[in-house]
Amino acid sequence: MNQKNLKNINSFRRVCLTTTVAVFLLILIGGIVRSTGAGMGCPDWPKCFGSWVPPTSVDQLPANYPEIYVAKRVEKNERFASLLTNMGFAHLAEEIRNDESIHEQEPFNATKTWIEYINRLAGAVIGLLIILTLVFSIKLRSIDSKIMWLSVLSLVLVLFQGWLGSIVVSTNLLHWMISVHMIVALFMVCLLLYIYYRSGKLIAKNHQFDLPLNISKKYRLLLGIGILLMVVQIILGTQVREQIDLIASNAAYLHRSSWIDELGLIYYIHRTYSLIILGLHLFIGYQLFPYREQNVKVTSHYVVLMALFITVIISGAIMAYFGIPAFIQPLHLFLGSLIIGFQYYIWLELGQGKTASINIA
């Protein structure tokens, strides 16, 4: 490979990795927005109270601002409900039309408004980084055109995610919309990780995990199951978070230590489920341990993955036994998204097994 192509690949990988890290940080910021109850700090989208720079005082808003923004949300939700009906989701459409919470407008809170505004600024930065990733990928089209087209897909996905964000706002944080929004963010992370991984193979095409193909496939399958289980776990977590939001609101955000006691069955499923996932990954790690010298990179990535699992369980325990500290909630979500990122990247690396077969004791 000539030096020009090598330089282009390395430049692309730096931009792509930066974009991926930024998406993870945006997930963290989104968790902060959720834990502070700032999701409706800006009642419209993409502007905030009709301005690109949000107000700092309620005096800067018209006296009837609640009615103004409720009317705008209702109008947008009707268009969204019509779209769902045309797509065959009439039940969900009716759920949106009949949701009385959509007609509620939170009182202006400058702190919540600016927290949500910072979240939106971070999202705009992600958009610019995705565009930059696409620009750098064009230089690789003669080497691997799929990288460029996957970068185009990432741009389409971030635009779709932005639209989903607007629907989350217009539906007043409808719980299943928040889950969809989170799943799309995780898919975006995995897409960027794949692009980064694929570009790395251009530099080291002969690099592979020194593991028999049949064994590699077996543990790749198990890790794939682990990824799916982790996605379900995050969705369960969003449902637990929804219950906590309701309990907190009913308690006027007081008596945090009693919130856990009021959670239903889904919380106990979420808590027990984490131990099952940890057990599966401990088993995979134990089986891969004899091959640690064949590929130090995969081994080191798996060590980080297990450390993340332990840390996220500890953070969950802290929330359960110490009154759900607000600063732990976004960290818990952030760690969960990092776990999926590491799972997926290791899954990609396990796809490089040798075709030769050996016996495993």
Q: What pLDDT is recorded for position 213?
A: 64
Query: Is 253's pLDDT higher than 70?
Result: no
Mean pLDDT, residues 43-52 = 86
Give pLDDT tens digits for 144-168. 999 999 999 999 999 999 888 888 8
Residue 354 pLDDT > 70: no
Low-confidence winner among 33-47, 188-202, 307-321 (lowest mean pLDDT)? 33-47
| Averaged pLDDT of the chain | 86
Higher model confidence: residue 177 or residue 318?
A: 318
Identify the pLDDT of residue 210.
59
Share of the chain above pLDDT 70, in %: 93
- Mean pLDDT within 292-304: 82
Burial 248-281 (b: 16+ CB within 10 A, else e): beeeeeeebeebbeebeeebeebbebbeebbebb
Cα(340)–Cα(336) distance, integer angstroms: 7
Helix ranges restricted to H, 102-144 = 110-138
Give φ, ψ of 354 to 5 degrees: -75, 155
Q: What is the pLDDT of residues 164-217, one digit of tens each?
A: 888 888 887 777 788 888 899 999 999 999 999 999 988 865 455 556 666 778
- Structural element, H or E, at residue 348: helix 328-349
User: What distance in Å separates the CA atoms of residue 298 and residue 263, rounded to the nearest whole number?
Assistant: 39
**Cα gap 140→156, rounded to integer Å:** 19
What pLDDT, in 10s, does the model give residues 96-116? Answer: 888 887 777 788 889 999 999
Q: Give CA separation, 85 vs 89, 167, 170, 185, in Å.
A: 5, 16, 17, 25
pTM assigned to the model = 0.86
Query: Band of the pLDDT at 138, cuts 50, 70, 90?
Result: very high
Collapsed DSSP state (helix, strand, coil) of residue 46: coil
Asked if the model's pLDDT at residue 358 lies above 60, the reply is no
